[in-house]
Structure 1
């Protein structure tokens, strides 16, 4: 027996609905923008309840057009994020744990683009003082450490610093005690290192040798603060001491060498500062 016509239509309609694989929502979506608006509406309803206003559309955040700014302004931006007033230490043991990796903003500057990387690196090398650690007790050559600096960076560095101490340059002796340098040997080594620095860093403007100076300088140089009658006589005493050892080693101090006294380990800070002023004054007279 044949079923009624309206029953047959119902059966055929239900079969059609069961056999179809098309999702009822996907049939209404034609573009990615419509899908984005649907999810945005759902999100807003969860946060603020249903609303009857027009749907809010998401707008992409466009990158800041930094190259529209003059180079001088860009350099000031780089300087703000990259300058380190206390300097940047360079040590072989710390190369893989450099502080720049811990700063997301600095890392972003170097990874934004090749042009930003080059400009930021130039500002970094122009204004930051790179400090090289002490040589170890085996007396490793300074040039070997400087060669570990990438060539591109070596060609940009302009300010470097290195500490010197009486007890940091011990050399092993097989037949006797450890040999420690005298004050004049440390000073001569500063001059030689200044030329070594310049040979590796062609744009070097200033090499600061930090002399961790203690009272042994008075004892081993015969330049005693109490024996000097006034600052000028103390300057002359340092000048005579310098010229004596420059003639012995046939050296000329370069103009890019600057010497500072580290006064943290002395009993009298004021006395050490007075000695430093006299030493620097005598040194300027030699290079001017």
Structure 2
């Protein structure tokens, strides 16, 4: 009788216990026996408040109504005054303000227009002359406007023709523009004149007049302030133009914050200096120039 060979099943390999298995063997079902937190979860508040119906705007105190007007009308980037007939403020690519809000009632118009002009910067763009644009805002809005930004859109950076080429001519025009704004808007607290210029252009040498050149390369922030201040003093002696207290110069957004702070600080110092006697200012400038020339000759 033939015997059939039987095959035995292969012995399974011995698995080395892992750290997780060892923990499970040691603690068993301890985790399952931990007490559960049965604290009820409070219901989530709705994203939008429940509409309870209309309310009477004028039943609210004036301070609260002003907050409502501010939430509707304020734009941090300012609003651009357009010469067209459209009943909106601002170019198409910005957050426009519908002027139909002012037409709700006479009282809403009287109250909201004060908030609108008190907090928004009115950006005035012009091509040739600033005066006609200012006339369009007189007399009613002009008495309320507190912040203005002048933006020339001409190819040369300013619409009105300067008395000379170079940075000093543009500087003189900006001062005259700011003085026009100050005269037109008696409540104006800030008039920002936008200077579309690059610092490397100011560094460029002017062969016809070395006083036009401003050197900023390699200078510290304090030295940049002093460079601007001395430059403003020199051209004050030539033109006698005094910037109004509300004036500030705003570089194009491509310039650095350090360059912007330098001209801001220099302009504030310069406005304090020219608030006194012109004769004293001229004498101080000539004395400073004499010392500078003597230092250069000795070097």
Establish whether TM, by shorter chain, passes 0.5. yes
Question: CA-to-partner distance for each residue in 1:111-135, whole Å, 9 max, x for gaps?
Answer: 222111110011101111111113x
1:213 alignment partner, one of 172, 193, 197: 197
Q: TM-score, normalised by structure 1?
A: 0.64
Aligned residue number for residue 66 of structure 1: 57
> Residue 186 of structure 2: SS of its match in structure 1?
coil
Is the 2:89–2:96 Cα contact (8 Å) retained in structure 1? Answer: no
Question: CA-to-partner distance for each residue in 1:16-68, whole Å, 9 max, x for gaps?
Answer: xxxxxxxxxxxxxxxxxxxxxxxxxxxxxxxxxxxxxxxxxxxxx98632222
* C-alpha deviation, 1:180, in angstroms: 8.1
CA 1:123–1:263 in structure 2 vs 1: closer, same or farther (change >3 Å)?
A: closer
Is the 1:213–1:263 Cα contact (8 Å) retained in structure 2? Answer: no
Rounded Cα–Cα distance in structure 2 between residues aligned with 1:182 and 1:192: 16
Aligned residue number for residue 284 of structure 1: 268
Rounded Cα–Cα distance in structure 2 between residues aligned with 1:64 and 1:95: 33
1:125 alignment partner, one of 117, 124, 127: 117
Alpha-carbon RMSD across the aligned residues, in angstroms, is 3.0
Is the 1:126–1:156 Cα contact (8 Å) retained in structure 2? Answer: yes
CA 1:170–1:205 in structure 2 vs 1: closer, same or farther (change >3 Å)?
A: closer
Question: CA-to-partner distance for each residue in 1:124-166, whole Å, 9 max, x for gaps?
Answer: 01111111113x2xx33x1211111252111111111012577
Is the 2:179–2:243 Cα contact (8 Å) retained in structure 1? Answer: no
Rounded Cα–Cα distance in structure 1 between residues aligned with 2:81 and 2:250: 19
Is the 2:87–2:99 Cα contact (8 Å) retained in structure 1? Answer: no
Misfit runs of 4+, over 6 Å: 102-105
* C-alpha deviation, 1:91, in angstroms: 2.6
Is 1:200 the counterpart of 2:188? The answer is: no
* C-alpha deviation, 1:88, in angstroms: 0.9
Q: Write out aligned runs for 1:50-65 (5 A).
A: 64-65=55-56
Q: Write out aligned runs for 1:178-193 (5 A).
A: 181-193=165-177
Aligned residue number for residue 156 of structure 2: 167
* C-alpha deviation, 1:274, in angstroms: 2.6
> Residue 192 of structure 2: SS of its match in structure 1?
strand
Aligned residue number for residue 76 of structure 1: 67
Is 1:240 the counterpart of 2:230? The answer is: yes
Rounded Cα–Cα distance in structure 2 between residues aligned with 1:279 and 1:171: 22
CA 1:127–1:170 in structure 2 vs 1: closer, same or farther (change >3 Å)?
A: closer
Is the 2:87–2:100 Cα contact (8 Å) retained in structure 1? Answer: no
Rounded Cα–Cα distance in structure 1 between residues aligned with 2:96 and 2:217: 54
Aligned residue number for residue 251 of structure 2: 261
Aligned residue number for residue 139 of structure 2: 151
* C-alpha deviation, 1:169, in angstroms: 3.7
